[in-house]
């Protein structure tokens, strides 16, 4: 049986909802929905424009990829991403941020427009899946 490991990002939502940032079982890592949260709290963070979809996407993936790394993976191990946007007009900036991180990896990716996210200042929430090769 594969061992199960998980990591927390310290999100205030984790204990309330009952989840963890990421779980690894065997070679597979699943990262929970991740918004652009900052160590000092919610948006707007100092020096971070709340309406910047590119920066929010980069921040959300930064948190998600940190969890992948903590569980032994790398950006090259990412096989799927999902991006949940609140505004269809953001797709190009979200896509540009995704491409800047995953352009050479080219995981399977999905963009979905949703009515709202947990925090009304979030324009994006992301999910990541990775398969860590043992070769």
pLDDT, position 13: 79
| pTM, rounded to two decimals | 0.91
pLDDT tens string 9-47: 887 778 899 999 999 999 999 999 999 887 665 555 556
Whether pLDDT at 55 is above 60: yes
Look up the CATH number of the domain holding residue 61.
Answer: 3.30.1330.40
Statement: residue 100 has pLDDT above 80: yes
Q: 107-123 as b/e, with b when 16 or more CB fall inside 10 Å?
A: beeebeeeeebeeeebb
The total number of structural domains that make up the chain: 1
């Amino acid at each position: 049986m594969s061992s199960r490991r998980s990591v927390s990002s310290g999100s205030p939502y984790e204990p309330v909802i009952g989840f963890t940032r990421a779980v690894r079982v065997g070679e597979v890592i699943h990262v929970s929905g991740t918004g652009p949260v900052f160590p000092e709290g919610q948006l707007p963070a100092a020096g971070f424009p709340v309406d910047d979809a590119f920066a929010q996407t980069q921040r959300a993936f930064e948190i998600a990829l940190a969890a992948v790394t903590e569980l032994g993976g790398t950006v090259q191990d990412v096989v799927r991403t999902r991006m949940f946007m609140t505004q269809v007009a953001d797709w190009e900036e979200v896509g540009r941020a995704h491409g800047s991180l995953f352009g050479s990896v080219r995981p399977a990716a999905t963009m979905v427009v949703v009515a709202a996210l947990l925090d009304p200042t979030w324009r994006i929430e992301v999910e990541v899946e990775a398969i860590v090769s043992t070769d």
